[in-house]
Amino acid sequence: MLTRLYIQNYAIIEEVEIDFSASLNIITGETGAGKSILIGALGLILGQRADASVLLFSEKKCMVEGSFQMEGNHAALAFLKENDFDIDAELVIRREIAVNGKSRAFINDTPATLTQIKVLASLLVNLHQQFDTLELGNDEFQRQVIDALAGNEQPLQLYQQSFKQWQQTKLQLNELLHQKNDFQKEAEYQQFLLDELNEVAFKENELEDIEQELNLLTNTESIKTALAGTYY
């Protein structure tokens, strides 16, 4: 549950801090009062992209920070634990947009990627906007509704963990099979070399004997001449 939203240097907002109660909170105002700007600022900490055009004062950075109550949100707590983020009773997501348009994101003051922010935000906030009813025809959305109504959170987590473990095991198996194939090729090559050596059938001191024979053949002519001279 969102408990606090702090906005600095965003669009027409110089600085504002809004505290939300655990009950129903309603923000009203005339057209142009800035209601959609609050939603846009909230979107930054939900993982939406932004650039320097959102800065009210171009020489200062923009910062949006949201605080969330984590009690009972097992999925979000599991995400924090799995990704090595600090776990506290209150979760703080902060997004900063620099004057050059580059952005940084933090989860409990620990740097985070935009993808991590999006995944975590999906476990914290349900943001309904115009044309959201089109999601009713989406198969994934329908499954999420059924799981929520059936209370399948724990079985779904167990299934996801088992599926992830199966994927990791499958990767390990494929790697081992690949290694086995490499080893088999190496063994076949080494066997080929061994067969070649066996076919040649080298004998002990064969190299020395060949060298002696080579020397003899090399000096054959001079030896014949010397013998002929001696015989004469």
7-23 residue pLDDT tens: 999 998 999 999 998 88
Q: How far apart are CA 53 and CA 40, in angstroms?
A: 13
Burial per residue of 9-20, b for 16 or more beta-carbon CB atoms within 10 angstroms, e otherwise: bbbebeeeeeeb
Q: Give which of 123, 51, 55 is closest to 83, Cα–Cα.
A: 123
Q: Are 44 and 104 in contact (CB under 8 A)?
A: no
* CATH architecture for the domain at 2-127: 3-Layer(aba) Sandwich (3.40)
pLDDT in tens, 133-167: 777 788 888 988 898 899 888 898 899 999 999 99
Q: Please give the distance of CA 229 from its chain centroid, rounded to a whole number.
A: 90
* Strands laid side by side in the 90-97 sheet: 13-19, 2-10, 62-69, 90-97, 103-107, 110-112
Residue 208 has pLDDT above 90, yes or no: no
Percent of the chain topping pLDDT 70: 99
Determine the average pLDDT of the residues in 118-122: 90
CB atoms within 10 A of CB 73: 16
Asked whether the beta carbons of 93 and 107 are under 8 A apart, the reply is yes
